[in-house]
Structure 1
């Protein structure tokens, strides 16, 4: 209850106070819309799931929160195949990404990589940052 007593209940994030919160944040960020997520884990999962579309392979850091700390939720809830790269490091390389893409191209049953997920800082590596120059390189790859 607010001091004014004007909070309206929402129905599965439609209308009411949750929709109002999303609208307020969208305006603050200059975006057409926004959605409120109860946790960062949920936000990461839904972002990866949405971006992957029908391409179920997802490249992630071996030390990432998505790979280490979500109890296989991406695999279980969204049938995504997480491919971890860069063991014991915050950063993976373009060469590692290219190796995965080349293998995918020759496998008998083709499954495309739909997302390259990069978390920075990496909690499992005590806040180590993904190398910025390496981060930029996969963006130059053809679709």
Structure 2
């Protein structure tokens, strides 16, 4: 009887440990906490600041890039190296200042900001529902 109770207690403790570890894994994975573009109203010829705040306790994210989803040919690399416009190196705030081309078409677009690993592959994270997806954030922008 004592052996059965001991085995049951051990099983419960093991299940509890698995649950705690899986929650910790989700909480410890990288996240894009905030993404923004300033100014919010954009015209051809304007200089804009693109910024992504990344939480990454385990230093998995080594590169952050953005593309216009409707025309993904050009990738723009954001920096966290302390050089202008970045204020402090390795603080998790990735940014870049770019000029909107004079020939940029007017309209609504989606700016997709994606995090990459050391090997150049996208960072994958597990969602709360258990699905695995690329760590990215999308900003809706409009060129007027």
- What TM bracket, shorter-length normalisation? under 0.3
Higher relative contact order (CA 8 A, sep 6+): 2
**TM-score with structure 1 length normalisation?**
0.23
Higher strand share: 2
